[in-house]
């Protein structure tokens, strides 16, 4: 998928057309003390997250604008705290470890600053918000189209499949998450900032978040794994992929005690392969020639042992 960050697409067979069931369906209360025309409220799965409408503001540089890092971080905290409120309503409680991981996700973000053609540029990387699912689906779909050599008119169908896949992955919080990078660029003398989705990556932290239809060679399901990593075409060759990879490693060290991190890289992607090797990843397995029968490229399975004191970001921020 381009320089800086290798797309690590899942096979189309792994994209589910249906999201996890939210819970038991509606029914009528048998008690005679209630009117017959009242229905029970539909129960929701304690880990399911509802799609919230995207709020717009005419002032993009205002602190209350949906494009500002402060507003997005507050929205992220509210969305990731929602499963905790739902567990109290349904009397189904998450383990203390899961609640702690949800809090870690709600406060996690990394900010990177770098010049961009006489402009002030900032890259904010954090967990994906619900209103951003469509944008992330489009970005991944464009990447898959280039990787799988599909005709351009399949983009909408592929975006639909990817969106349903992302909705299913959202239900696995805090065992898996999707990170997004928001790129803010502005002239040095201007106050207005232009924000756009620059990159994305998916992380599974343990066997509960592992993808059942992972790419070959298969990584250990109980170890952290990075996939579906891509950078927008117009923003490549800026070092965004390297910063995204470092941020994934930072989050993994905070979310799990496992230190062996795995990812895939296609054998034909020389630039991403060089980036991974410079970052300390080593090839542990190689795809068989038989993978060509599935119309896929051969891939390397790469592994890196993380250190607890590694900080891959320039400016860590929490709760901002």
Q: What is the rounded (10 degree) CA torsion for 137, 143, 147, 153?
A: 70
DSSP structural state of residue 62: S
Catalytic hit among 165, 276, 281, 300: 276
Structure tokens that stand for 84 in this block: 């905790």
Hey, which residues does 196 pair with through a beta bridge? Answer: 183
Hey, which residues does 202 pair with through a beta bridge? Answer: 178, 227
Structure tokens that stand for 238 in this block: 């800026």
DSSP 3-state of 16? coil
Residues in the chain, overall count: 320
Question: What is the DSSP annotation of 217-267?
Answer: SPPPTTS-EEEEEEE-GGG-SSSHHHHHHHHHHHHHHHH-S--EEEEEEET
User: How many angstroms separate the CA atoms of 202 and 249, rounded?
Assistant: 12
Query: Which residue in 254, 257, 273, 245 sits closest to 179, CA to CA?
Result: 245
Based on the residue annotation, tell me whether 276 is a catalytic residue of this protein: yes
Which residues are marked as active site?
276
């Amino acid at each position: 998928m381009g320089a800086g960050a290798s797309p690590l697409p899942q096979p189309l067979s792994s994209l589910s057309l249906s999201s996890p069931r939210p819970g038991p369906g509606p029914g009528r209360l048998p008690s005679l003390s209630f009117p017959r025309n009242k229905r029970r409220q539909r129960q929701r799965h304690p880990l399911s997250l509802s799609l919230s409408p995207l709020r717009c503001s005419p002032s993009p540089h205002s602190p209350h604008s949906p494009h500002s890092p402060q507003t997005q971080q507050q929205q992220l905290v509210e969305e990731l705290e929602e499963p905790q409120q739902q567990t109290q309503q349904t009397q189904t409680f998450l383990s203390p470890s899961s609640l702690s991981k949800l809090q870690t996700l709600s406060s996690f973000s990394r900010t990177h600053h770098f010049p961009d053609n006489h402009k002030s540029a900032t890259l904010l990387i954090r967990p994906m918000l619900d209103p951003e699912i469509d944008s992330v689906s489009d970005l991944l779909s464009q990447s898959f189209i280039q990787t799988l050599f599909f005709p351009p008119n399949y983009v909408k169908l592929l975006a639909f499949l990817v969106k349903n896949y992302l909705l299913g992955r959202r239900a696995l919080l805090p065992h898996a998450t999707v990170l997004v990078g928001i790129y803010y660029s502005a002239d040095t003398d201007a106050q207005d900032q232009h924000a756009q989705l620059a990159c994305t990556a998916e992380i599974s932290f343990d066997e509960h978040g592992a993808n059942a239809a992972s790419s070959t060679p298969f990584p250990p399901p109980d170890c952290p794994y990075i996939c579906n990593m891509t950078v927008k075409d117009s923003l490549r060759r800026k070092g965004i992929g390297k910063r995204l990879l470092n941020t994934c490693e930072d989050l993994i060290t905070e979310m799990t005690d496992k230190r062996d991190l795995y990812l895939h890289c296609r054998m034909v992607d020389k630039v991403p392969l060089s980036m991974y090797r410079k970052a300390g990843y080593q090839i542990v397995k190689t795809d068989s020639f038989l993978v060509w029968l599935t119309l896929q490229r051969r891939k390397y399975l790469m592994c890196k042992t993380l250190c607890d004191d590694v900080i891959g970001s320039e400016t860590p921020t929490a709760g901002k």
